[in-house]
Structure 1
Amino acid sequence: MHDIDTKMTGRRARWLAGMALGALALSSQAQAETLQGALAKAYENNPTLTAARAGQRANDENVPIQKASGLPSVGASVDYQENLVIPGNSFVAPGRVLSAGSQLSVPIYQGGAVRNAVKAAEYRVEAGQSDLRATEASIFSQVVGAYMDVIRDQAIVQLNQKNVAVLKTNLQASSDRFEIGDLTRTDVAQSQARLALAEGDLRGAEANLIRSRENYVKLVGDAPVDLQPPPALPNLPQSVEDAVAIALNNNPDIEAANQRINASRADIGAARAARMPKLSATLGGGYNNNLHSIPAGNTVAENTTKSAAAGLSLTLPIFQGGRPSAQVRQAQSRSSQAIETYVATERDVIAQTRGAYAAWQANERVIAATEQAVGANALSLEGVRAENSVGTRSILDILNAEQEYLNAQVQLVSAKRNSYVAAFSVLAAMGKAEARDLGIEGGALYDPAVNYRRVRGQIWDWADDPKPQQQATDTRSIPAADASVPAVEPLPQQ
């Protein structure tokens, strides 16, 4: 029995050795998914991202809305009146009247209100475009995390499945040796206890895998099928100083905060315009037709009349109860708020960049150390089993060595996941984690400037867009996730 156990020691060690090093790589299948493919699906179908695009299109409309206040306006009216009772002493009152009129109003000077309001709207469009970039990077970061979570948790389930299989074999061997009096009941009980704990750990790992797969579905809109190892990330910085310098120049949150400062300053100018005179020109005309309802022979009134008038209107505010100065002070305070928000945003970006860079570097070191630990634990397990076969090690020593080997493998796959996600977070903080930077597969990238150029000069009152339609895909038809993984290789035969 000792010889059999010694042979199985080497077989099991060879069978488990290298598992952690290949835990992030899954077998290639016809429906294999890549990280770029997952990002492309999220880019096209994630509802948070498609909603943010719609919100930015709504933001674009503030520019033509503000421009409209400085453009001419034309109105027309038509009235028809039937006089049911005509006073007895009225000899010229018509029985019915049809009247029509029109008026053209042209703003000439509004104290800078329109100019500043348009500038503020344009700055907020630019801020919104930067916000959309930030949303895109945030969604991509979440997708990368979900993608790596599925790979990690699937690897951990596989590791736990193999650990359970090994412990079952250990239990069977311990039971056989107990039958021949080579081991005690305590040894068998220890093997049973460790197997029960391992099965519990497996159930927990399976629950984590299901949760990760469901989170992937939520973000990507499709079930994760045979996720492939992720590619190397581009444009990673050489130092934390480089990362921070790039982030300060390119982070979309900083750009958005800066544009909001500009918008708030334009708001101050728009508020001051309330104290300025306003001048506009008007042109109007009218037409009345009594529809031959004036009594015949009346020479005083005519059945048809026409009119036209043109003029200038000057409004000069003198006293408004302090409203204009309050609005100016309010706009100034909001500008101060925007400035402080910019500083806070800059601080956040610096902290996020440095923290993500530190996490990335730390996990790279963890990977290197854990790879050594995996190899050392594999040799240790083999040695403990060999020593047990000659009576110098107990069953508990074997169980502990197996647990340490499993823990090292789990730590390795977790460190690989953490390192990749942290590195991607560095790119996101640097403003380098958007579709244009990552080579997203599929059609043309969404450009928010296209819609802005389309609508910014639109002055036609009937230029509606098509009826809104759902853009993101729903996930009702996707089956609930399970914890299935590629089949675990059977134990080597004795």
Structure 2
Amino acid sequence: MGRQAVTYKLRFGTAIVAIFIAASAQAETLTDALIGAYKNSGLLDQQQAVLRAADENVAEALAGLRPVVNYTMSAGYGGSSVFTATTTDTWSLSASLGISADITVFDNGQTKYAVNSAKENVLATREALVSVEQQILLRAVSAYMSVRSEVQTVGLRQNNVRVITEQLRAARDRFEVGEITRTDVAQAEARLAAARSNLAAAQGQLARAREEYRNAVGRMPGNLAQPPALAGVPQTEQAATQFAERNHPEIRRAQRLVSASDLDVLRAKAALGPTVGVSAGVQLGRERDGAYGLPTNNDTDTRSQNLSITLNQPIYQGGRLSSLIRQAMARRDQQRAGLHIVVHDIRQNVGNSYADLRVARASLAASREQVRAARVAFEGVREEATLGARTTLDVLDAEQELLNAQNDLIDASTQEYVAYYSVLSSMGLLTADYLNLGIQTYDPQAYYNLVKDGPVNRSSQGQRLDRVLRALGKE
């Protein structure tokens, strides 16, 4: 289950210390958010439980060639009465104790195929756990960047309201001295109302982003630090696609399911073959005759034992076994087709994520230039308006263009980060281990090692398993 080492490593920055009104506190980093998402995800806990259940299937399959031992105990009391000239009562008290053992010594390979199929399903479920982990971490990245984006947007909207409020005050002063008309004042008033409406909308979006963050990370966001600089990705989409085809957990999972389905076909065919079983048993009994079970000299002790070997092979079962073989073959074909679909989907996801990253980076470069130019234009128009060469509407339009450019820059920066981590996810690399989050992650091998041999509760291994379950809070 080890993963191929790659050179596309992330380097997370150190935490940024933010100064507040009367104290200082450490800002929450993207790494902190990812750790919180990993530790607090109910979805991850759910998938880990699914994996533990799959582990148990190996022990259950292995039991097919192990002995089954049972004991039986019984006790009875009964009697009869004979009515003649005198009444004769006959009563007896009986008890028995028996122990039996049955074992299948040969089943034409059915158990072997069942065990190997269960192991393949365990490996497939482990890959499913990795896929869930990727989903959780990508959602945390998106939530983190969304909160930062909305916080910046709210700040822009608040500043916009302040700027337009000052412009409205200046417009009213100029109207009082007759420099502009009442129309100019009305235009400023309309823009201020729109700015306040946009601020309320931005605050609402921020509240929604904060709730998404709490859901994804497990707590409400604090002061979020600037995310770390992005590391490199493969230079070509082709290289990333080839890596994903070898390492993506969804492809690995589909491959394991195909292997399991092949083994299920062999198991179904093996059911047509013979099986050999051995049975042994011992039974002890005592019977006491006498009126109402009272002691007599007629107490009888019995003991019986048996040992038998059985050869069994089906001849005709109404077509059931043949149907099971065809069913297993159909499910194998289903898994093979599923693997084909998954491979194409992963290839498409890699291409889409690379396209999104290219678009985001191009938009980011263009937005920076747009902000620079819009700021120069706004300052120029505002200066010209003080000289009477521009109208109030011209100033408001220039200010709105600058605001739009700043919003576009915020969105482009957010999209670049989300697209970058989407590239990692499409390659199968968005995991806690690869990101080097520095936390203890779930070890799927540990639980499997405890249960793969089918320990019983009274064994030392079973007691260790009980301690593990208590630590997990599952018992």
Structure 2 portions without partners, runs of 5+: 1-15
Are residue 47 (structure 1) and residue 42 (structure 2) matched?
A: yes
Are residue 446 (structure 1) and residue 442 (structure 2) matched?
A: yes
Shift of 1:55: 1.3
Considering fraction of residues, name the structure with more strand: 2
Structure 1 portions without partners, runs of 5+: 1-24, 473-494
Are residue 307 (structure 1) and residue 304 (structure 2) matched?
A: yes
Are residue 65 (structure 1) and residue 54 (structure 2) matched?
A: no
* Structure 2 match to 1:460: 456
- Supply the AA of the counterpart residue of 1:82: Y
- Supply the AA of the counterpart residue of 1:251: H
Other structure's SS at 1:182 match: coil
Q: Of residues 409, 412, 423 in structure 1, which corresponds to 2:409? A: 412
The answer (yes or no) to whether the contact 2:288–2:295 under 8 Å persists in 1 is: no
1:253-279 Cα shifts (integer Å, max 9, x gaps): 000000000000111111112211111
Count how many residue pairs are aligned between Structure 1 and Structure 2.
444
1:424-446 Cα shifts (integer Å, max 9, x gaps): 0110111111010111133x221
- Supply the AA of the counterpart residue of 2:450: R
Shift of 1:70: 1.6
* Structure 2 match to 1:214: 211
* Structure 2 match to 1:30: 25
Are residue 227 (structure 1) and residue 224 (structure 2) matched?
A: yes
CA distance in 2, matches of 1:94, 1:227: 87
Other structure's SS at 2:234 match: coil
* Structure 1 match to 2:13: none
The answer (yes or no) to whether the contact 2:114–2:264 under 8 Å persists in 1 is: yes
Call closer, same or farther: CA 1:471–1:383 in 2, change over 3 Å.
farther
Shift of 1:459: 3.2
CA distance in 1, matches of 2:17, 2:411: 16
- Supply the AA of the counterpart residue of 2:94: V
Call closer, same or farther: CA 1:318–1:256 in 2, change over 3 Å.
same
- Supply the AA of the counterpart residue of 2:344: R
Other structure's SS at 1:33 match: coil
CA distance in 1, matches of 2:309, 2:124: 39
Q: Of residues 332, 335, 340 in structure 2, which corresponds to 1:335? A: 332
Call closer, same or farther: CA 1:339–1:92 in 2, change over 3 Å.
farther
User: What is the TM-score normalised by the length of structure 1?
Assistant: 0.86
* Structure 1 match to 2:3: none
Q: Cα RMSD over matched residues? A: 2.3
CA distance in 1, matches of 2:382, 2:388: 10
CA distance in 2, matches of 1:391, 1:471: 75
Are residue 160 (structure 1) and residue 148 (structure 2) matched?
A: no
CA distance in 2, matches of 1:87, 1:439: 89
1:17-76 Cα shifts (integer Å, max 9, x gaps): xxxxxxxx9945414211111111111111111111111111111100111122111110
Shift of 1:461: 5.1
* Structure 1 match to 2:11: none
The 5-angstrom pairing of residues 115-126 of structure 1 reads 115-126=112-123
Call closer, same or farther: CA 1:210–1:64 in 2, change over 3 Å.
same
The 5-angstrom pairing of residues 164-313 of structure 1 reads 164-234=161-231, 236-291=233-288, 293=290, 303-313=300-310
- Supply the AA of the counterpart residue of 2:109: G
Call closer, same or farther: CA 1:235–1:398 in 2, change over 3 Å.
closer
Call closer, same or farther: CA 1:416–1:87 in 2, change over 3 Å.
farther
Other structure's SS at 2:216 match: helix
CA distance in 2, matches of 1:221, 1:291: 71
- Supply the AA of the counterpart residue of 1:50: D
Are residue 397 (structure 1) and residue 394 (structure 2) matched?
A: yes
CA distance in 2, matches of 1:452, 1:46: 22
The answer (yes or no) to whether the contact 2:289–2:296 under 8 Å persists in 1 is: no
* Structure 2 match to 1:13: none
The answer (yes or no) to whether the contact 2:80–2:91 under 8 Å persists in 1 is: no
CA distance in 2, matches of 1:61, 1:88: 63
The answer (yes or no) to whether the contact 1:98–1:291 under 8 Å persists in 2 is: no
User: What is the TM-score normalised by the length of structure 2?
Assistant: 0.89
Call closer, same or farther: CA 1:87–1:229 in 2, change over 3 Å.
farther
CA distance in 1, matches of 2:67, 2:303: 24
The 5-angstrom pairing of residues 358-369 of structure 1 reads 358-369=355-366
Other structure's SS at 1:275 match: coil
